[in-house]
């Protein structure tokens, strides 16, 4: 992944290049069991980050991603948390509340789309798209910020939203 090329696996600032070390850093990756998400998780794991991946379904949902990464539920720097519906406010709150207070970043890749032109798109389809893409990002951003504030000296953290 080109964007991760400048990152090092060491903790703390990474020398003259200014790269930030990710070893041991806790990172949420929503959509981490999908095609794009599993590549992002793999890139984080390669540089030593600990990824927390909420999964809407069961362990079978990540069978392909897990096999390609050579990881299981909590091996290899990946903690898959199953049956987390990112549209459900209480589920998102519970997921983030269970994370270590040292959450360093939250990367939001979960979402989707429906094919079709505007004349073929129902109001129900539009609402589903808003839930899947906007509501999930809002809930995850809000809960990530709450976690970041638990860090020493008021915290801080990183949020990446992909739309």
pTM here is 0.80
Mean pLDDT of 40-64: 86
Q: Is residue 5 part of a domain?
A: no
Domain of 40, in residue numbers: 21-112+119-161
For 67-117, the DSSP string reads HHHT--SSSTTEEEEES--TT-HHHHHHHHHTS-TTEEEEEE-------S-
pLDDT band, residue 130 (cuts 50/70/90): very high
CATH of the domain at 58: 3.40.50.720
In the chain, the number of structural domains is: 1
Q: Is residue 33 part of a domain?
A: yes
Q: Is residue 1 part of a domain?
A: no
pLDDT band, residue 61 (cuts 50/70/90): low
Q: Is residue 61 part of a domain?
A: yes
Q: Is the pLDDT of residue 97 over 70?
A: yes
pLDDT of residue 70: 43
Q: Is the pLDDT of residue 69 over 60?
A: no
The tokens describing 16, both together, are: 């003259």
Residue of 91, 63, 66, 85 whose CA lies nearest to 77: 66
- CA geometry: angle 50, 9, 161, nearest 5 deg: 55
Q: Is residue 155 part of a domain?
A: yes
pLDDT in tens, 10-46: 444 344 444 568 999 999 999 998 889 999 999 999 9
pLDDT of residue 159: 97
pLDDT band, residue 52 (cuts 50/70/90): very high
Q: Is residue 2 part of a domain?
A: no
- Cβ(23)–Cβ(46) under 8 Å? no
Q: Is the pLDDT of residue 96 over 90?
A: yes
For 59-77, the DSSP string reads GGGGHHHHHHHT--SSSTT
């Amino acid at each position: 992944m080109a964007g991760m090329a400048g990152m090092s696996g060491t903790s703390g600032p990474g020398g003259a290049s200014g790269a930030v070390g990710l070893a041991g850093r806790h990172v949420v990756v929503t959509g981490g069991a999908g095609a794009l998400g599993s590549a992002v998780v793999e890139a984080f794991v390669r540089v030593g980050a600990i990824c927390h991946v909420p999964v809407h379904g069961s362990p079978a949902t990540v069978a392909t991603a897990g096999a390609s990464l050579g990881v299981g539920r909590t091996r290899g720097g990946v903690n898959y948390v199953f049956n987390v519906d990112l549209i459900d406010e209480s589920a998102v709150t519970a997921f983030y509340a269970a994370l270590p207070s040292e959450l360093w970043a939250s990367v939001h890749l979960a979402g989707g789309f429906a094919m079709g032109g505007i004349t073929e798109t129902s109001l129900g389809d539009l609402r589903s798209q808003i839930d899947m893409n906007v509501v999930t990002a809002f809930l995850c951003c809000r809960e990530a910020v709450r976690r970041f504030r638990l860090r020493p000296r008021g915290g801080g953290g990183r949020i990446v939203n992909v739309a």
